[in-house]
Structure 1
Amino acid sequence: MINRHYVVCDTCATPHTLRIQVGHDDYQEHSFACTDCGEQMVVGMHCDQVNATLRIVEKENCSRGDTEGMVINLSPDFPISSADLHQDLAFPSGPHVFRLLAAQAALGARPIPAGDFLKVASDALNHRPSVLWPILDKAWSLHRRGRADLAQAKVDEYFGEDDSSRSIYEAIFDFCIRMLSPARTPLFKDAAKFSSEALRAHRDEFSSLLTYLAGGVHRDNLERAHETLKEYFSSYTDFSQLLTHARHGVDVSDDYEASSVAFSKTKLFYGNAYENLTTNIATLALLNNIHAGRKFDEFMAMPLSKYLQSNKASRANPFSAVEALAEICAPLNSTIRNASHHGAMRIINDGRAIQYRSGSSGEQKTMRYLEYINACNEIMLSTCALLALELLIMKRA
C-alpha cells in the first residue's frame, strides 16, 4: 500500500508530493532532501496494523501542504531505482518482491496453505526484529544492572510464555539466529562446527578457554554487542531499507538508491560497530589456536597480551585462512572505520552518496549511501553471528 501525502518545505516553501509505502512496523520515519533548497525534511508515519489506519506527522523542516509538488517515493523496506525516485504512480517494491520470493524458494520455502496463511502471517509480524528488539533490549539492560527478576519478566514476554524456563541468554541467542535467518545462518553454523571440532579434539584446552572467557571477557563482549545492537535499532528505518535483502543474501544493483537518508544518525554506526567487533573477534583467534593444537592463548607469532594490543585492522589475520571464521570478519573495512572516527565523512548529491577520507590526509573516496547502509547491515549480521557463537561456547561451561 502507498499513501499519498502533501508537504511544504519550511525553508523555501517548495511543495512536495510524498508517496510513502506502508511498512509492517507501527512507526516508520523518513529523512529526505528538499528538491529545491536541499535542506533535510523528516516525516513520520504511525501505522495501526490492527485497525488499518495511518497518521502522518511532519517532524522537521516541513508542514502539511495541499497542492501537488515534486514526487518523492519513500519506502521503509526497499531501495528505489534512480528512475523511480520522483516517478508518480510507480510501485518500487515490485522488483524486490519477486527477487526475494525467488531467494526464499531457493532456500526451500514452500507456499503457505490458504488455511494457515493468517496465522503464519500474524506470527511473522509478531516476530519481526523491530518488534522483538525493544523487549529484548529491556531484558538485557535489566540483566546487566542485576535486576534478574524484572529481566525474567521481559524474557517471558519475549518468548510469549508464562513460565520462567528460558534465560536471557536463550533470548539473545534466539534473536541473533532470527536476525541471520533465512539465508545468513551459515555465518554462525560454520563457526559453530569449527568450535565443536576444537572441543572434541582438545577438550582440556577448550575448558581453559571457557575459564578465561568466564573471568570477565564474556561479560565485556556481551556489553559491546549490546551497544552495537542498540545503536543499530536507534536508526532502524534507514538500515531496514536493505535488511531484508541482506538476510536473504540478495544483492541490489547500482541503479538503486536509498529513499530515506538520516546520515546524522547513521554516520557513526559503522565505526562503532567495527571497534566492538574487532575487539570481540579475539574469541575466534583463541578458538583457532585450540583447533590448531596449541594452547588457547598461544599464537604462532606472539603471546595473547601482544595480540590484544595489536592494531585492530589486523586482529583477523591469525585466522584469515580459516573460511569458517574469516567470513564473520568479511565486512570489516578499516578505511570506512577511520573516516567515521576522524570526522572525515560527509553526505553529498542530495543524500545519494558519502564522500570520505581514510584518516586526516587519506585519499578522498565516494560511496553510495546505499552501499554504506549495506556495510552497516553486514557488520551487524556478523555481530549477531559472533554473539550467537560465544553464547553457544559458554553454554558448555
Structure 2
Amino acid sequence: MIIRTRAKCTTCDSIYTLRIRVGNNPSQRHSIRCICCNEDMIAGLEIDFNNVKAKPVFIENCEETAEEGKVINLDPDHPVPDDMLHMDMIFPWMQHVEKSFYLNKRHPNFPEKASAGPIFVDIYQVLGSHHNIVPLWNSLKKAWSLSNSGKSDLSVKALIQYSTALGLKEPPSLNEAIYDFLVRLIMPAGEELIKNAAQLWKSLESSNPAQTRKFVTFYRSDLHKDNFARAFEVFSEYFKVYSDFSQTELYAKNDTKLPEKSTATSVSFKETKQFYGNAFEALTSNFTTLACINNLFAGRKYDEFKEMTLKMYLTINKANRQSPFESQKEFSAFSACIDSTLRNSSHHAAIKLENQKVVYRSGGTGAIHKINYSEYLLKCNQIMFSLAALTCLELVIAF
C-alpha cells in the first residue's frame, strides 16, 4: 500500500507530493532533503494495522498542504530506482523483489504458480522481514535495561509485553528473549552464521569438556558483562534510526546485492554517520570470544594463542583482532563485513555526505573513497547482523 500525501517545506515553501509505501512497523520516519533550499524535512506515517489505516505526519521543517508538487517516492524497505524517484503511479518495490531476490531460487517453498486458484503469500515474510520489529525491540530494550539496573521485577513485566506481542503462552527469560529477537532480526542468512559456529562449539564441548568448562567460567566472569553492554548500545543506536537502516535490511538478511542505479530516499546521515565505527568497535572487541574458542579448537588452552598471550591479544589493534581465527571459516565469517578504513572515518566523524555519496579517506591524507549512501547503510546492516549473530553464539556458549 502506498499513501499519497502533500507536504510544503516550511523553509522555502517548496511543494512536494510524497508517495510513501506502508512498511511493517506502526511508525515510519523519512528524512528528505529539500531540492530547493537543501534543508532536511522529516515526514512519515503513523499506522494502525488493526483498522488498516495510515495517517501522514509532518515532524520537522514541513507541513501538510493541498497543492500537488514534485513527486518523491519513499520506501522503508528498498532503495528506489533512480529513474523512478520522481515518477507517479508506479510501485518501485515490485521491481526490486522480482529482480533482486530471486524468490524461487532462494526460497524453495515459494510457489512458482497457483495450481488451484490464487495463493496469497506475504513476500516480506518469505524474505525474513518481521512485522512490528521496532515495538518488539522496545519491549526487549526495556526488559534488558531494567535487568542491567537490577530491577528484575520490572524487567519481567516488560518480558510479559514481549511474549504477549508474539502470542507466547509464557514469558521467556531475558536471555531467551534476546536470542529469539536477534534471530528474528537477522534471519535467514544470519541464522546459518550462528548455526555453523554453534556446531563447532558443540563438538568442542564433546571432545574437550574440561577446557570448555574453564572457558565458560572465564567468559561469564570476565567477558559477558562488557560484551553485552557494548552490544546493547549498538542495538539501541540501530533502532533509533531504523527508518534509514531498514532501506537495505532485507538485502543484508538475504545476502543479496543492492540493485544498481537506485537511491536510499530517507537520509538521516547526521544520526547514522558514526554507526559503522561504533558497531566495528563493539564487534571487534567481542571477537575475544571467538579467539579463545579458536585456541581450544587448535588444541591449546583458551588463553594460549599461537604467538601471544591473552593479555597481549587484548592490546593489539582492533582491526587485527580477527587474525587468530581468520583461517577457521566458521569464525572468520563473523569478520567478513569489517572495513577498517570506513571504521576510522566513521568512528572519528571524518566522513561526509555529498550528493548521496558517502565520502571518506584512508587515513588523514590517504585516498578518497566514495560509496552510495545505500551502500553505506548495507555495510551498517552487515556489521550489525554480525554483532547480533555473535551475541547469539555467546548465549549458546554460556547459558
| Superposition TM-score, scaled by structure 2 size | 0.92
1:74 equivalent in structure 2: 74
**1:185 Cα shift?**
1.1
* 8 Å contact kept, 1:81–1:256: yes
Partner secondary structure for residue 239 of structure 1: helix
Q: How far, CA to CA, are the matches of 1:330 and 1:318 in structure 2? A: 14
Q: Does 1:137 align with 2:141?
A: yes
Correspondent of 2:257 among 251, 258, 262: 251
Displacement of 1:264 in angstroms is: 0.8
1:360–1:219 CA distance, 2 compared to 1 (3 A): same
Q: Say if 1:61 and 1:340 are closer, same or farther in 2 by CA, change over 3 A.
A: same
**Residue 310 of structure 1 pairs with residue 316 of structure 2:** yes
Q: 1:91 is matched by which residue type in structure 2? A: F
Shift of 1:139: 0.8
The correspondence for 1:296, drawn from 302, 325, 337, is 302
1:358 matched to which residue of 2? 362
**Letter aligned with residue 374 of structure 2:** L
SS in 2 for 1:260: coil
Match of 2:89 in 1: 89
**Gap runs ≥5 in structure 2:** none
Matches within 5 A, 1:118-129: 128-129=132-133
Preserved contact between residue 103 and residue 250 of structure 1 (Cα < 8 Å): no
Aligned-pair CA distance for 1:104: 6.4
- Report the Cα distance in structure 1 between the residues aligned to 2:333 and 2:341, rounded to whole angstroms: 19
Does 2:220 match 1:214?
yes
Contact 2:101 2:256 in 1 (8 A): no
- With normalisation by structure 1, the TM-score equals 0.92
Q: Specify whether residues 74 and 119 from structure 1 end up closer, same or farther in structure 2 by C-alpha distance, changes over 3 A only.
A: closer
Distance 1:120 1:255, change over 3 A: closer
Give the SS at the match of 2:92.
coil
Q: Which moved more, 1:179-188 or 1:380-389?
A: 179-188
2:32 corresponds to which residue?
A: 32
1:242 aligns with 2:248: yes
C-alpha root-mean-square deviation of aligned residues, in Å?
Answer: 2.5
SS at match of 1:354: strand
Q: 1:35 to 1:104 in 2, by over 3 A?
A: same
Q: What is the CA deviation profile of residues 87-145 of structure 1, one whole-angstrom value per residue up to 9, with x for unaligned ones?
A: 122211112233577336633334599999799999x9975422311111111111111
**What is the CA-CA distance between 1:79 and the residue it aligns to?**
1.0
What are the Cα deviations for residues 219-246 of structure 1, in whole angstroms up to 9, with x where unaligned?
A: 1111111111101001000011111222
Selected match of 2:271 from 254, 265, 268: 265
Residue matched to 1:233? 239
**Residue 206 of structure 2 aligns with which residue?**
200
- The alignment status of 1:348 with 2:331, answered yes or no, reads no
**Do the aligned residues in 1 keep the contact of 2:5 with 2:18 (CA within 8 Å)?**
yes
**AA in 1 matched with 2:36:** D
Identity of aligned residues (%): 39
Q: Does 1:146 align with 2:150?
A: yes
Q: Name the structure 2 match of 1:392.
A: 396
Asked if 1:380 is matched to 2:384, the reply is: yes
> In structure 2, how many angstroms separate the alpha carbons of the residues matched to 1:125 and 1:326?
26
State the distance in 2 between where 1:121 and 1:150 align. Answer: 34
SS of match in other structure, 1:184: helix
Supply the AA of the counterpart residue of 1:304.
L
Change (3 A) 1:138 1:225: same
